[in-house]
Structure 1
Amino acid sequence: MSDVMFACVHNAGRSQMAAAFFNKHRTQDTVKGISAGTNPASEVHPVVREIMLEVGIDLSNITPVKLTPELAKTASTIVTMGCGETCPYVPGVQIIDWGITDPKNKPVDEARVIRDEIENRIKAFITENNY
């Protein structure tokens, strides 16, 4: 089984949360969640680090990663978080778009709603795909 890629533009919020929740909730050790961005930021958004710590996930040592065609080819599925046209097309790789709001510059209470939406989608995705 290949990895599941979670992608957004800056790899500093939505995709980081999605990969972390995927790795927390997955039931199969043969697949892992990875994340990347088409135009990565220099760090994970501070509000995202804060709200993920609230649920026991530490993203303080995570650095955003560039989504390259080579990295995308390691995934069986790419779940985009709303990066639309800027996400790469990779032949043979299933692409799903969730269109989730970017938590960047959002107040903590709004970022928590986004976090919880991502976690709920991840749980459903894992169940539907037997991950």
Structure 2
Amino acid sequence: MSDQQPQQQTKKVLFACIQNAGRSQMSAALFNLHCSNKGWTAISAGTNPATHVHPAVVETMKEKGVDLTNNIPQKLTLELAQTATIFVTMGCGDACPYVPGIKIVEWQIEDPKNKPAEQVRLIRDDLEARIIDFIKQEGI
């Protein structure tokens, strides 16, 4: 008989967009910032990942006390998607994998790529409001 107790598995929200360099990075960071339920975490990925997070995204997230400087965009794979409890897509359309049994939510969010900081702040603030509402709606 094992004396190890079963580990409680962390539930995961996967935020996905095309490059994983803007919207999904901000969403995962804001979810993790606002989620007080230690049984949940957020990750992000992209269907065609960039080499780095957009500089304006890094700068505007620092204003919220979140440093994305060392984040590296990652590839959205079926295997990664299958680890999610909830899958939030933002503009990746048919390129996002379909995973039976996982709740999928689609958000229409403007891509911050090549946008001035003022516009990226608006996108960030929209995402933050959505994240706070999402956490409440999902009972997280």
SS in 1 for 2:122: helix
Alpha-carbon distance, 1:125 to partner: 0.3
**5+ long unaligned stretches in structure 2:** 1-9
Code of the aligned partner of 1:90:
V
Distance 2:65 2:107 in 1: 24
Structure 1 partner of 2:61 = 52
In angstroms, what is the RMSD of aligned CA positions? 0.8
Structure 2 partner of 1:2 = 11
Q: Which of 117, 136, 139 lines up with 1:127 in the alignment?
A: 136
Aligned pair count? 131
Q: Which of 68, 80, 95 lines up with 2:77 in the alignment?
A: 68
Distance 2:11 2:62 in 1: 28
**5+ long unaligned stretches in structure 1:** none
Alpha-carbon distance, 1:84 to partner: 1.3
Distance 1:5 1:12 in 2: 14
SS in 2 for 1:75: coil
Distance 2:44 2:68 in 1: 12
Q: Which of 92, 101, 126 lines up with 2:101 in the alignment?
A: 92
Alpha-carbon distance, 1:2 to partner: 2.2
Task: For residues 12-38 of structure 1, give each alpha carbon's deviation from its aligned partner in whole angstroms, at most 9, with x where no partner exists.
Answer: 000000000000001210110110001
Distance 1:70 1:13 in 2: 22
Contact in 2 for aligned 1:8/1:14 (Cα 8 Å): yes
- The share of aligned pairs that are identical, in percent, is 56
TM-score by length of 1: 0.97
Structure 2 partner of 1:102 = 111
Task: For residues 87-112 of structure 1, give each alpha carbon's deviation from its aligned partner in whole angstroms, at most 9, with x where no partner exists.
Answer: 11011111111010000001111111
Distance 1:17 1:127 in 2: 18
Distance 1:5 1:112 in 2: 22
1:17 aligned onto 2:17: no
Q: After TM superposition, which residue ranges in structure 1, 4 or more long, deviate above 3 angstroms?
A: none
Distance 2:80 2:128 in 1: 24
Code of the aligned partner of 2:85:
S
Alpha-carbon distance, 1:82 to partner: 1.7
Contact in 2 for aligned 1:9/1:39 (Cα 8 Å): yes
